[in-house]
Chains A and B, each alone.
Chain A
């Protein structure tokens, strides 16, 4: 496998929906706050609402999509490559032979959309755990089994 080719597998499309919902929930208090400030009418209309709405819309609509496109993974024969980041790009490769244990996690939102996060734990101080979110749940479980098969040591 050549890590330097851009033959990445994209994440499950539902990942965008989940990140959007999370972003929406994060932005909601600020939007409500800005509406309240408008209602008090201390400054002319739109001073609070307009910028807050624009930023919120950008964070909810645009950013999750861009991050989705920046993310990707490549499951090789003996290693997993995880790529992420718009501004700060990170490109991590974990050989299966170095995986200590594997987690598959699903939050309530993720479960509603049938996706999961795969986490590989290594013994290294740096990259002690490598997260790969936005996998279809079945894919994540299958990947876990594949990687498990490569780990010779019994898992306790």
Chain B
């Protein structure tokens, strides 16, 4: 009961952490310090925040705005302008379908339609059980092996409807494999 959990508990209680006790705020602080709290570093700091929190919660945006002495509107504006930043939590697994030209020419629409039908999610959405987030990418740059799908960060080429659905069903059946 005590031994495995104390390490985390101590970190949370260490001085200088965010009042919530969430040590991840220290990572944002580090990113801001690295750039000497320059306002120009906003995008770098947002990257760091998303990397550690998974998505950009509203309170994070306020925290960063405060740290860099920027209006919240500016931080929100930048966070919503760029596609890679997400303001909503993501599922346990992500399935990113490349819709670049080579993938398009090689019939990725059918692949995408099959995934939508299987998961019930549209691009940008997460399944209601929070298991899978479906996204589309403009081009992941692996055009030589189109069509390409990125499963949890692993790029896989030469996808067919069967191979893609197989992967997704595995996620369904084996939980957080």
Q: Answer yes or no: are A and B bound together in one complex.
A: no
